[in-house]
Structure 1
Amino acid sequence: MSASNQKNLVPSSGASVKRPPVVVVMGHIDHGKSTLLDYIRKSNVVAKEAGGITQHVGAYQAEYQSTDGKAHKITFLDTPGHAAFTGIRERGAQAADVAILVVSAEDGVKPQTIEAFKQIQRSKIPFIVAITKIDKPNANIDKAKTSLGENEIYVEGWGGDVPCVPISAATGENIPELLDMIMLVSELADLKADDGLSASGIVIESSLDTRKGVSATLLIKNGRLETGNFVVAGSSFAPVRFIEDFAGKKIESASASMPVRIIGWNEIPPAGEAFATVTNKKSAEKMAEEARSAQKEEKRKDVQNVAQATKAADKLKPEEKEAPTVVSLPIMIKADVIGSLEGVKFELSKIAHDKVRLDVVSEGIGDINENDIKLAESDPRIMIVGFNVEADKKAAAMIERAPAPLQVRTFKIIYELVQHVQDALLAKVPKEYVEEVTGRAKILALFAKDKDRQVVGGKVETGILESGNDVRIMRREAEIGRGKIRELQSKKVRVSEVAQGFEFGMMVEAKIEIAVGDRIESVRTVEKS
């Protein structure tokens, strides 16, 4: 941030105050993250998630009374456990002060558990292990702890110092103890904020609403946000006309550790981007322009690097160059929020085929609109997939009126979207064909020749010879020509096929003159499996 913009920040009062902890809940898919938060917040968030799987970062502030009778506030971030949403989990860990790593007492450590643990380590934040689902018949707390130890996560009493609380989000067992542990860990971290500073923090998520425009969920890490200010995140900025808390209630101001929503951005702010607050529009525009210039410079460097890599590739010998892709499937991706878009792209990047490739021609957040359909109409190969979005009224009418069917599908579950695209991709794989030898025979006699047709005699050594088959004419193991079986006889009777071990007479149409001792291979063309 430039010196000229520094003076436009809201001044500090110099007052350092205690702030609530920001807690990220992480772990493998379906290990009880959302159920835990659901119990704490006493709301039904789980039912709102398609398939019961969290697909966004949920940011919520809860208030509870500790066992000593004191009231505390805790901000929770719920991150998806599905493999597709690595980026969202990464942002959640970066924004938090404390992490809760949930591990099912039934399943133990799973792939996303390990990934979440590594993200926590990279973020260098303290964490607590919550062993969930202890009310289930197959729950085994000791087995879960053993599984943790096998993956170098050592909890208290099992060779380490990581706090561990076995819980049941279904019954509420040990939830108060978990909340007390969160407060104990955060007390040791001595979390403070300057309430007199302008608000700063991180963009948790952003989305586009056709009626309200661009909105973003912000997590305030320091300072106070008030109406009348301007928030800036990268090249995006917005006037703070009103502030919505996590429940959608309008408030006049917000302090550190609070998740808020701001509407009216000039463009979609990237999730994970740091934000700052300034006093006027001019300062906001200047900061955004500086960020935009920096982004352009980064892109210029990227283009330069790609050009250099391409130049180096051109110098490779033909055999060192990668074989060109045969077919591409152009695709347009629309999603409700940035995190969803990242997740979809991440999953789709894993289904590439060596003969076909996905070509993302357009991507964005918000409902499928008129411009999207126009692009699809310009090229019937384009497939539009939407995640947690629908086609707006104009787009839906255009789809209905389209002279040829358009490839437009929307999904609520990410793996259903991925399966749909994968099926479409595989359908475009060019079919490959191979020759299959169905029979081999040795030529024992020559009877007649008339132009390109020869009558020969022989014996089938393997397989079957069939009338109408194409044949390869082999001499000393080398192919010398091709032909076609026009007629077959066995024991002077015309037949459609001759099996292994039987002698035959054959009329062959071929440009090559067959000799005694040659071999005939009967072949057919089949699709390569």
Structure 2
Amino acid sequence: MRQNGRKEIEIPATITVRELAALMSVSPIDVIKVLMHNGIMASINQRIDYETAALVAHEFGFEPREQRPPEAVEEEGPSLLWQRLYAGEDPSKLKPRPPVVVVLGHVDHGKTTLLDAIRRTNVAAQEVGQITQRIGAYQVEYNGRKITFLDTPGHEAFTQMRARGAQVTDIAVLVVAADDGVMPQTREALAHARAARLPIIVALNKIDKPTANIERVMSQLAELGLVPQEYGGDTIVVKVSAKQRIGIEDLLEAILLVAETREIKANPDRPAVGTVIDARVDRRGPVATLLVQNGTLKQGDIIVAGATYGRVRAMFDDRGRPLKKAPPSTPVEVLGLSDVPEAGDLFEVAESERQARELAERRAAERQRQRQVRRMSLEDLYRRMQAGKVREFNVIIKTDVQGSIEPIAGLLQRLVERHAKDQLQLNILHADAGEISVSDVTLAAASDAIIIGFNVPVDAAAKRLAESEGVDIRVYSVIYHIEEDLEKALKGMLAPTIQERILGHAEVRQVFKVKGGQVAGCYVRDGEIRRNALVRVLRGGQKIHEGRIASLKRYKDDVTEVRAGYECGVGLEGFHDFAVGDILECFVREEVGAA
């Protein structure tokens, strides 16, 4: 489409110099020259805002138009907690409530010290090694208005709550140290906040330090798409020093300003519902930190939290003062539950103890069912896309070097546009160099994403978590194989993945000679040994044989399986060289994710 003889192009809110050049089919060098001519210094991978990009587009004879974000796809009913909480409320009963703010950032960048300055208390000194060990919830009052803060031990805990359906917060404050700049965990925290679709305020901390380099950090933030307002962007960046109490009031003003634009409301005149922020056992019994998100919680209410329930015997605020009732956005410590709930569990007030018990049992059964449901996999992408059950293709990219990220991201975008332009939107939630970690799997589980690794290892703990959460991890060493697999997935041609599942391990303690070979007398150390399964023989940690179990006996009886703690006799097909101390690793190979 042309306007005034100029070709129209759509430009997003932020775009890299390279992407803008590709959009206009010109050289990135020519774009950089135009930017320099207008007094703007930018590298080829640096992000610029829409206004700057529009200025460049005009220079090249284009008519720019700002690209609007796609409208949210209607789901089959609310899926996140905050949607369910207010879906059936009468708008006339909704009243403004305090915003709930999560504080995220790299370790040692001053998250807890910043909250310490806000609360005028010394929380940080009470922490082991002055590093936050568990989630804390605090409420402060500024200019007659309240703000609730969550201080997390890392973005993983925050995302684990979100993965379990708890949309806990309204605003994210990303703490970045002015002397240290953007670090790997800063990028991860940003990815988690963006995946939760939270407005982000940056608190640029430690500006009083002699080594602080504010301009460098501002440039780093812009490259992450957090273009500061003073650079023409829309990200609020507040310069603070937690130790010197500089900029604290400016930060609180910024939070209240963003909260006003969000129209944060709740209905205080109904039974309470909310989320478990933390839980523990002390001399008083099970103690749960609850965040009331709608309604008002009262002393004496019967509540069910996850798979546990009880009557609220006592309530305390974040300073240990007793409370009789807690309105929306109030964090409280509660005594009276029968057991310790898990962080991220949802709670609500029940009409009776019987109803609470039945609801707790239903939740336990539902949790078990959800653990058996596989999340998005590359194999069933086409089927779910055709059924209209997926409109967004969420991806996490991990590579061996930073330079590999952009080619892979560009490849994925081109494939989606070529094969599913009107059916699918690609969202790269997080992209970074380094091994695939638990944090990546947690983010994938919360966002129904696929992890694509390129020449990177998978952390052992991350592998276990991915198996339990049903997260699909794909690791490649050749970039063309990524293209082949995704192209097949978008066409519905990808073959099911064969996945290995370890059943158990047994130690060879005796070797018996029998007619035609040997039998190993074993002690099952963990899991189980199953007849007709596959077995690796490990000696000194090295595999010396892999084959199928030919016979499995308990004393003289043939059995189908032997569990941990019992002895058995094992014979393998085609192997007769057992030695005392060998480890037999029993496993099966299964098809997973078949469409």
TM-score by length of 1: 0.53
1:161 is matched with 234
1:254 is matched with 326
Work out the CA distance in 2 between the residues paired with 1:352 and 1:234: 25
1:26 is matched with 104
Instruction: Give the residue type in structure 2 aligned to 1:87.
Output: A
Instruction: Give matches, 1:355-374, under 5 Å.
Output: none
1:49 is matched with 127
Instruction: Give the structure, 1 or 2, with the largest relative contact order (CA under 8 Å, sep 6 or more).
Output: 1
Instruction: Give matches, 1:380-419, under 5 Å.
Output: none
Work out the CA distance in 2 between the residues paired with 1:353 and 1:189: 35
Work out the CA distance in 1 between the residues paired with 2:205 and 2:372: 49
Instruction: Give the residue type in structure 2 aligned to 1:235.
Output: A
Instruction: Give matches, 1:121-160, under 5 Å.
Output: 121-160=194-233
Work out the CA distance in 2 between the residues paired with 1:241 and 1:110: 44
Please tell me whether the aligned partners of residues 110 and 205 of structure 2 are also in contact (alpha carbons under 8 angstroms).
Answer: yes
2:301 is matched with 229
**Tell me, what secondary structure is at the counterpart of 1:202?**
strand
Report how far residue 150 of structure 1 moved.
Answer: 2.1
Residue in structure 2 matching 1:105, options 169, 178, 181: 178
Work out the CA distance in 2 between the residues paired with 1:39 and 1:301: 44
- Check if 1:281 corresponds to 2:353: yes
Work out the CA distance in 2 between the residues paired with 1:108 and 1:220: 35
Work out the CA distance in 2 between the residues paired with 1:227 and 1:107: 46
Report how far residue 15 of structure 1 moved.
Answer: 3.0
1:271 is matched with 343
Report how far residue 151 of structure 1 moved.
Answer: 2.2
Report how far residue 118 of structure 1 moved.
Answer: 1.0
Instruction: Give the residue type in structure 2 aligned to 1:248.
Output: G
Work out the CA distance in 2 between the residues paired with 1:16 and 1:107: 43
**Tell me, what secondary structure is at the counterpart of 2:230?**
coil
- Check if 1:39 corresponds to 2:39: no
Work out the CA distance in 2 between the residues paired with 1:193 and 1:297: 31
**Tell me, what secondary structure is at the counterpart of 2:313?**
coil
Work out the CA distance in 1 between the residues paired with 2:325 and 2:461: 48
Work out the CA distance in 1 between the residues paired with 2:372 and 2:190: 36
Work out the CA distance in 1 between the residues paired with 2:373 and 2:200: 39
**Tell me, what secondary structure is at the counterpart of 1:114?**
helix
Instruction: Give the residue type in structure 1 aligned to 2:263.
Output: D
**Tell me, what secondary structure is at the counterpart of 1:176?**
helix
CA shift digits 1:211-234 (9 cap, x unpaired): 322221111111100112111122
CA shift digits 1:361-415 (9 cap, x unpaired): xxxxxxxxxxxxxxxxxxxxxxxxxxxxxxxxxxxxxxxxxxxxxxxxxxxxxxx
The structure-2 alpha-carbon separation of the partners of 1:279 and 1:353, relative to structure 1 and needing over 3 Å to count, comes to closer
Work out the CA distance in 2 between the residues paired with 1:431 and 1:294: 40
Work out the CA distance in 1 between the residues paired with 2:461 and 2:352: 48
- Check if 1:86 corresponds to 2:156: yes
Instruction: Give the residue type in structure 1 aligned to 2:129.
Output: G
**Tell me, what secondary structure is at the counterpart of 2:260?**
helix
Work out the CA distance in 1 between the residues paired with 2:236 and 2:296: 32
RMSD of aligned C-alpha atoms?
3.5
Please tell me whether the aligned partners of residues 239 and 265 of structure 1 are also in contact (alpha carbons under 8 angstroms).
Answer: yes
1:172 is matched with 245
Report how far residue 289 of structure 1 moved.
Answer: 1.9
Identity %: 41
Work out the CA distance in 2 between the residues paired with 1:26 and 1:299: 28
Please tell me whether the aligned partners of residues 12 and 198 of structure 1 are also in contact (alpha carbons under 8 angstroms).
Answer: no
1:184 is matched with 257
Instruction: Give the residue type in structure 2 aligned to 1:241.
Output: R
Report how far residue 14 of structure 1 moved.
Answer: 6.1
Report how far residue 351 of structure 1 moved.
Answer: 6.1
Structure 1: where are the runs of 5+ without partners?
A: 1-5, 66-70, 303-341, 358-428, 433-529
**Tell me, what secondary structure is at the counterpart of 1:264?**
strand
Report how far residue 56 of structure 1 moved.
Answer: 1.2
Instruction: Give the residue type in structure 1 aligned to 2:353.
Output: K
Work out the CA distance in 1 between the residues paired with 2:130 and 2:201: 24
TM-score by length of 2: 0.47
Report how far residue 96 of structure 1 moved.
Answer: 1.1
CA shift digits 1:90-117 (9 cap, x unpaired): 5389411111111111111111111111
Work out the CA distance in 2 between the residues paired with 1:188 and 1:205: 29
1:481 is matched with none
The structure-2 alpha-carbon separation of the partners of 1:55 and 1:350, relative to structure 1 and needing over 3 Å to count, comes to farther
1:219 is matched with 291
Work out the CA distance in 1 between the residues paired with 2:125 and 2:462: 36
Report how far residue 152 of structure 1 moved.
Answer: 2.4
Please tell me whether the aligned partners of residues 314 and 336 of structure 2 are also in contact (alpha carbons under 8 angstroms).
Answer: no
Residue in structure 1 matching 2:139, options 61, 78, 85: 61
Work out the CA distance in 1 between the residues paired with 2:461 and 2:146: 46
Work out the CA distance in 1 between the residues paired with 2:233 and 2:244: 28
Work out the CA distance in 2 between the residues paired with 1:46 and 1:281: 39
Instruction: Give the residue type in structure 1 aligned to 2:329.
Output: S
Number of corresponding residues: 305
The structure-2 alpha-carbon separation of the partners of 1:352 and 1:35, relative to structure 1 and needing over 3 Å to count, comes to closer
The structure-2 alpha-carbon separation of the partners of 1:297 and 1:191, relative to structure 1 and needing over 3 Å to count, comes to closer
CA shift digits 1:326-370 (9 cap, x unpaired): xxxxxxxxxxxxxxxx99x99xx946799xx9xxxxxxxxxxxxx
1:199 is matched with 272
Work out the CA distance in 2 between the residues paired with 1:262 and 1:12: 29
